[in-house]
Amino acid sequence: MRVRPQLGLWISLGASSLLLVTLAAKAFVPKPVKQHAAASRSVQGPSSDRIRFSDGDQQQLRLGDGSTRVVRSLLQVPNRMQFGEFVWNDAGVPPGRIWLRIDLSRQILSVFRGEDEIATSVILYGQDETPTPIGNFPIRGMERNHRSNAYDAMMPFTLWLTSDGVAIHGSNVRQGLATHGCIGVPEAFAQRLFGVVKRGDLVSVVR
């Protein structure tokens, strides 16, 4: 969907919906950007940059329906993430079902394979009269090159979540923008995500 100007900062660092151990690594601080569009940037780090939990100390993340899922490892991002940045690191992660967790309070999308986080990205989301819905949503459909009829805008690598048009898709993720309810991610991240998910995979949106 086409993004629209949005005033103010969107992060509530007082929220505690993500594990406290990940806050310093993954929460990001908005900073002024130049007027031109910010390019997508992949934050690189050693393949060992991962927080691992022992068998008796597995962590649990809350989902959009109030349930929880066990997590055995999380990415340890080397620096605070900025608009347009993402990390993708699945080195050494065993096979498993892909699922996504989107934390609107922190503007972060996390991709899990089984019980291990393999990717994370800063996002845009909907506010005011077109908020992004909270809850658990299976991916209903996928379109590589969708154009929005309502907003006459390209939505590359679209993952449909709801029957009324809410989706995850590639966007120009930069400060001062929001969506009409969709979850916008950097296009390079959206392309990689499109390649690993399938219809029916869980997307959980929390605040």
pLDDT tens, N- to C-terminus, the chain (207 residues): 433 333 233 332 233 333 323 333 343 333 332 223 344 566 654 445 889 998 888 899 999 999 999 999 999 987 788 999 999 999 999 999 999 999 999 999 999 999 999 999 999 999 888 899 999 999 999 988 766 666 646 678 999 999 998 999 998 888 877 777 899 999 999 999 999 999 999 999 999
Q: Tell the burial category of 152 from Cβ atoms under 10 Å away from its Cβ (0-12, 13-18, 19+).
A: exposed
What CATH number should be reported for the domain holding residue 80? Answer: 2.40.440.10
State how far the Cα of 168 lies from the Cα of 132, in Å rounded to an integer: 11
CA-to-CA dists, residue 45 to 19, 74, 82, 84, 175, angstroms: 21, 14, 15, 17, 24
The count of structural domains within the chain is 1
pTM of structure = 0.77
Residues 156-198 have pLDDT tens digits of 899 999 999 899 999 888 887 777 789 999 999 999 999 999 9
Distance of CA 28 to the CA centre of its chain: 13
CB–CB of 49/90 below 8 Å?
A: no
Q: What is the domain extent for residue 71?
A: 4-29+38-206
